Chain A
Amino acid sequence: MQTAEQTAFVVSSGRTADRVKELERIIGLKQDWLFRFAYLRVGKREDAEDIVQDVLLRLYRSKERLTHIDDVERYLVHALRNACIDYIRRRPPILMTSLEGAAQIAEDSEADKEIRDEYERINRLLQTIPTEQAEIVRLHCTDGLTFRQIAQVLEIPEATVKSRYRYAIDKIRKAYEDDE
């Protein structure tokens, strides 16, 4: 995860060229991390990229309204998380039939197969715990956020985050051992 200094969005001038340059810099630094964040929630490359694109454009547009975005990390995590939740809510209950799934896997490249396997493995583990606990585990383990950052993003006390995380890990461990 990048530090806030690296991605600080300095709103010094309102010129379009400067703003576009700033956006390009942010994309260069963050696009892979943003893509992973979205992919591990939605499980589809195209959809994950669309979500990332929307969030970045929203950030670009919101730059005019916000006088200064001091923490781009937090802004992006918040926006991306909300966009993923919206996507999952809108998505039809049965995503793919087994045939469509097979076709999708056949189309995937080697790298995409790898990330798909990882997505399925992580999701299998997180399915055993409640959603709010799963979200904290995702943000901490897969996205690399600290407990303080998670507390800020979810707007809950840090102690609550820690306790939920502990409960979640215990449940996952139990489920994993039971499987074995």
Chain B
Amino acid sequence: MKTTNDIEQLLKPKATYHASPGLKERVVEEAVKTAASKRGNNQKWWWMGIAASLLIVAGVGWMLLNHKETKVSKSGERMAEKGSQMLTDSSAINPTAPLLMEDTKPDTPLMAQVTESPKPRKHVRRQTVPHKTAVEVSHQEELLEMVEERATPVDVQDNDELEAMLNAMQQPQSKMSEEEEYMHMNVRVFTANIRIRNKQDSN
């Protein structure tokens, strides 16, 4: 009768087992190869990462540059709009004022005049803000003095005419500037006084 120990002894290996001497070298060689390929892979990933980051930087730069250009062009557009608005506003100040002969070109055909772009700035400046020289100002003052001198002897009987004149003066002339209104009024008063004087002289 065999005991458990006897059976265990039967199953226990008695021979000496030796792996081939080349096994260790093979395994180490493979391990080194694996490490090298992993290192190569790592380097590849590094290069890919660098390339990707460069691309991102370039993309962001391009976007920023594009954004700046758009901003500049938009501000340019806004300025142009503003300018044209100013031009239209200034031309609307006194639309009834007669055009100066300098601005028209009688020798050129009409269509050419229409299609040709006029010089709005020059035109507008002449229409809106009369540039007063020293001579003009002194002349105006003279006129005013004359009006003041001559206005005193106005007869009460001629009140109708004066009233009509004043009424005419009180008509709203919103399109004219204050200076122009004042000038107009002075001229009318002056002419009225001359007429009154002439009447008195003839009488």
CB distance from A57 to the nearest CB of B (A): 5
**Contact (A169, B4) CB under 8 Å given A40-B13, A115-B15:** yes
Is B32 at the interface (CB under 8 A from chain A)? yes
CB distance from B19 to the nearest CB of A (A): 4
Is A31 at the interface (CB under 8 A from chain B)? yes
- B23 adjacent to A53 (CB under 8 Å): yes
Find residues 10-38 in chain A having any chain B CB closer than 8 Å to their own CB: 16, 19-20, 23-24, 27-28, 31-36
Is B171 at the interface (CB under 8 A from chain A)? no
Question: CB < 8 Å: which of B13, B20, B31, B34 contacts A118?
Answer: B13
- B11 adjacent to A122 (CB under 8 Å): yes
**Contact (A125, B27) CB under 8 Å given A16-B35, A111-B18, A118-B15:** no
Find residues 54-84 in chain A having any chain B CB closer than 8 Å to their own CB: 56-57, 60-61
Interface magnitude class on chain A: 35 or more
Is B132 at the interface (CB under 8 A from chain A)? no
Question: CB < 8 Å: which of A28, A60, A169 contacts B31?
Answer: A60
**Contact (A141, B28) CB under 8 Å given A34-B19, A49-B23, A61-B34:** no
Is A161 at the interface (CB under 8 A from chain B)? no
The secondary structure that dominates the A interface is: helix
When distances are taken between beta carbons in the complex, the residues of chain A under 8 Å from B67 are none
- B26 adjacent to A53 (CB under 8 Å): yes
Q: How many A-B residue pairs have CB under 8 A?
A: 91
Is B100 at the interface (CB under 8 A from chain A)? no
- A118 adjacent to B14 (CB under 8 Å): yes
Question: CB < 8 Å: which of B11, B18, B31 contacts A137?
Answer: B11
Find residues 18-51 in chain B having any chain A CB closer than 8 Å to their own CB: 18-20, 23-24, 26-28, 30-32, 34-35, 39
- A31 adjacent to B19 (CB under 8 Å): yes
Interface magnitude class on chain B: 20 to 34
Is A172 at the interface (CB under 8 A from chain B)? yes
- B32 adjacent to A20 (CB under 8 Å): yes
* CA A103 to CA B38, docked complex, whole Å: 42
* CA A114 to CA B17, docked complex, whole Å: 9
- A141 adjacent to B32 (CB under 8 Å): no
Kindly report which residue of chain A lies nearest to residue B24, judged by CB atoms: A27
When distances are taken between beta carbons in the complex, the residues of chain A under 8 Å from B26 are 53
* CA A88 to CA B80, docked complex, whole Å: 87
Question: CB < 8 Å: which of A19, A31, A33, A118 contacts B24?
Answer: A31
List of 9 A-B pairs having minimum Cβ-Cβ separation, nearest first? A36-B17, A35-B19, A141-B11, A16-B35, A114-B15, A31-B19, A27-B24, A115-B15, A60-B31
Binding site for B on A (CB under 8 A): 16, 19-20, 23-24, 27-28, 31-36, 39-40, 45, 49, 52-53, 56-57, 60-61, 111, 114-115, 117-118, 121-122, 125-126, 137, 141-142, 169, 172-173, 176-177
